Amino acid sequence: MPDSGFIALFLIGLLGGTHCVGMCGGIVGALSLGGPSRLSLHLAYNGGRIASYALAGALAGALGGLSLVLAGQLPLRIALYVLANLMLVAMGLYLIGVTRALAFTERAGQHLWRRIQPLTRRFLPARSTVQAFPLGLLWGWLPCGLVYSALATALTSGSAVRGAGLMLAFGLGTLPNLLLAGLLAARLRAYAAKPAVRLTAGLLVLGFGAWGLLGAARLAFQA
């Protein structure tokens, strides 16, 4: 993915915030009970969550880079790029409510999450940043179709550093929505659930995927 991929993933994280609020709204709402220092709790929690995204991106980027070394460069790169953008198209349709195509990825992630979730209880209720940060680190592995769509893009990056950077950009994009979800709690969750909001976000994410598929087709014809 070209350097514009960092901006694209940031915008996808931002636009897909309706999904993030639905997935993580409960836990960030609970952090609002932490008293006057609740903003620091939210920042620590989200810092941990984004750090986990960056780690997952590094692993995906390293795996993708190894695959490119072991296989033919261009054909595999095109295949990975097509996969990444198909995931974005599916995520856009998922946000709109047309299909549950990405639900299988979240079900697959449940195997890992069942091992991680019990560890989160050690940090609940989170009353300090020392508890909130590791809670975010663990919660970053919650099965989420939007995160998996971004990880598919990190897989095409070809390196651990670039993969981590892409997921960092994505995580920063999700930050405004989740900070607001924590501070405004139910009011933002009700807004994010509105069909018009989900439709707009879904169409924009779908558009990123469709544009990427057109780029992959051009690359394939030039090969």
Which are the contacts of 61, defined by CB distance < 8 A and separation ≥ 6?
Answer: 154, 155, 157, 158, 159, 160, 161, 162, 163, 164, 166
Nearest-angstrom CA–CA distance, 120 and 220: 45
Q: Considering the entire predicted model, what is its pTM?
A: 0.82
Residue 28 is predicted with a pLDDT of 65
CA–CA dist 195, 45 (Å, integer):
28
What is the reported pLDDT for 92? 81
Q: Determine the residue type at 100.
A: R
**CB neighbour list of residue 200: distance below 8 Å, 6 or more residues apart:** none
pLDDT in tens, the chain (223 residues): 445 578 888 888 887 766 666 666 566 666 755 554 578 888 999 999 999 999 999 999 999 888 766 655 667 777 877 888 888 888 788 778 776 767 777 788 888 999 999 999 899 888 889 999 999 999 999 988 889 888 988 988 889 999 999 999 999 998 888 887 766 655 555 665 677 777 887 888 888 888 888 877 776 676 5
Tokens of 22: 């639905």
